[in-house]
């Protein structure tokens, strides 16, 4: 992995990134202020739900210090292959689902990635420019917590970002940090597609009672206060974590569960209502943004109603 180059080299890299991203209809960054709220869980499951609905999806894991997406998808053993020694192919999880994560490039998953900002910026740009993503309906970009180098790099490198999804738990401290992510997204001109409240309540597997371990309703309340769409609540269920730990899809293994139903509903809402980035004319199979979609979303598409 190389560092950033001269201004000329950088311009070539940026052009390459744009060329790659032109072939991707919807680019969505998944963020949270606080860690451990389930960004990767949401990313992986939304991706699976979209693929089940016939879409082609890529996942880019930009959490370089703790890249867990591959483990959750059960493709830890994958490697980033290259046909020309310069560009590389994403790891295929199943038909329609591709992933790129730093974990594929590490020899030992116990070794820490001890990198300061500039190195992280360079690697994320490589992931965007040097990966042969091909034509995708969606690129879901999982990020680490916070509003620093990784998030800035992703957003600045993808000027036609479709929007952001902010994940939070209902807990006050998580909601506090999620507000920062909403404001961060807005400051940088990225439409907030919506808030997802994860771990919204736990059902006791013994007595069936609901346990609001991290509280309940904090995400929805915040989305109302901040005037952002609320995409839904995902309950905390044991099997979600269990399937994640063994790299199985909870949607497949537990199709009737409340969390699966919630995830499918969110994916379906996203797919039917968000606007696509229509400012590139060379996109194929990309429907025009429907005005009805624009009335419920706040994407960056050209037909978006101005505030």
Residue linked to tokens 């560092």: 3
74 forms part of the interface with its own copies (CB under 8 A): no
- Nearest partner of 31 among 182, 175, 253, judged by Cα: 182
213 binds its own copies (CB under 8 A): yes
Residue 224's φ and ψ, nearest 5 degrees, are: -65, -50
Total of chain residues touching its own copies, rule CB under 8 A: 59
* Residue 170 Cβ vs its own copies, minimum distance, rounded to whole Å: 10
Stretch that binds its own copies, among 11-19, 51-59, 227-235, 237-245 (CB under 8 A): 237-245
Q: x/- string (CB under 8 A) for its own copies, residues 78-117?
A: -------------------------------xxxxxxxxx
Nearer to its own copies, 167 or 293 (CB): 167
Instruction: Say how many CA atoms lie within 13 Å of 269 toward its Cβ.
Output: 17
- Name the packing angle between helices 39-52 and 258-273 (round to 10°): 70
Measured from the CB atom, is 137 or 244 closer to its own copies? 244
DSSP 8-state code for residue 95: T
Toward its own copies, which CB reaches closer, 181 or 233?
181
User: Judged by CB under 8 A, does residue 189 bind its own copies?
Assistant: no
Cα–Cα distance measured from residue 185 to residue 150, given in angstroms and rounded to the nearest whole number: 13
7 lies in the site for its own copies, by CB under 8 A: no
Q: Which stretch binds its own copies (CB under 8 A): 53-61, 93-101, 202-210, 297-305?
A: 202-210
Applying CB under 8 A, which part among 83-91, 158-166, 189-197, 209-217 lies near its own copies? Answer: 209-217
Name which of residues 16 to 45 contact its own copies (CB under 8 A).
33-37, 40
Q: How far is the CB of 54 from its own copies (least distance, A)?
A: 29
Does 77 sit near its own copies (CB under 8 A)? no
For position 190 contacting its own copies by CB under 8 A, the verdict is: no
Cα–Cα dist 12/195, whole Å: 35
At its nearest, how many Å lie between its own copies and the CB of residue 284? 35
**Which residues in 247-306 contact its own copies (CB under 8 A)?**
none
Check residue 11 for interaction with its own copies (CB under 8 A).
no
Q: Going by C-beta distance under 8 Å and a sequence separation of 6 or more, which residues neighbour residue 274? A: 26, 162, 163, 193, 293, 297, 299
Asked if 144 and 167 count as a contact pair (C-beta separation under 8 A), the reply is: no
Exposure string for 260-276, b = 16+ CB within 10 A, e = fewer? bbbbbebbebbbebbbb
**Dihedral of the CA atoms 38, 103, 22, 275 (nearest 10)?**
-10
Q: Is 221 in the site for its own copies (CB under 8 A)?
A: no
Query: What gap in Å lies between CA 285 and CA 25, rounded to an integer?
Result: 9
227 touching its own copies, by CB under 8 A: no
Residues 94, 99, 105, 110, CA torsion sign: negative
Chain residues that interact with its own copies, rule: CB under 8 A: 33-37, 40, 64-66, 68, 71-72, 109-118, 120, 144-149, 152, 169, 171-174, 176-177, 179-181, 183-184, 187, 202, 204-207, 209, 211-215, 236, 238, 241, 244-245
């Amino acid at each position: 992995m190389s560092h950033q180059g001269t201004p000329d080299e950088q311009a070539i890299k940026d052009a390459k990134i744009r060329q790659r991203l032109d072939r991707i209809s919807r680019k969505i960054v998944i963020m949270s202020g606080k860690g451990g709220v389930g960004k990767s869980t949401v990313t992986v499951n939304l991706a699976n739900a979209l693929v089940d609905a016939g879409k082609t999806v890529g996942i880019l894991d930009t959490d370089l210090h703790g890249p867990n997406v591959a483990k959750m998808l059960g493709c830890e053993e994958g490697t980033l292959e290259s046909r020309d020694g310069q560009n590389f192919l994403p790891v295929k999880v199943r038909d329609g689902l591709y992933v790129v994560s730093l974990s594929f490039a590490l020899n030992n998953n116990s070794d820490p990635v001890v990198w300061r900002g500039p190195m992280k910026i360079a690697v994320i740009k490589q992931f965007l420019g040097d990966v042969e993503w091909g034509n995708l309906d969606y690129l879901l970009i999982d990020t680490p917590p916070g509003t620093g180098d990784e998030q800035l790099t992703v957003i600045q490198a993808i000027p036609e970002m479709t929007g952001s999804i902010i994940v939070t738990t209902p807990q006050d401290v998580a909601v506090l940090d999620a507000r920062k992510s909403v404001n961060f997204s807005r400051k940088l001109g990225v439409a907030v597609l919506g808030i997802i409240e994860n771990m919204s309540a736990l059902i006791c597997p013994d007595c069936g009672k609901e346990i609001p371990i991290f509280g309940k309703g904090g995400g929805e309340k915040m989305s109302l206060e901040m005037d952002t769409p609320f995409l839904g609540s995902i309950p905390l269920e044991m099997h979600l974590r269990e399937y994640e730990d063994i790299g199985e899809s909870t949607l497949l293994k537990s199709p009737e569960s409340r969390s699966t139903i919630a995830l499918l509903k969110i994916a379906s809402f996203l797919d039917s209502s968000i606007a696509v980035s229509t400012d590139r004319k060379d996109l194929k199979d990309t429907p025009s943004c429907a005005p009805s979609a624009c009335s419920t979303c706040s994407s960056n598409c050209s037909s978006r109603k101005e505030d």
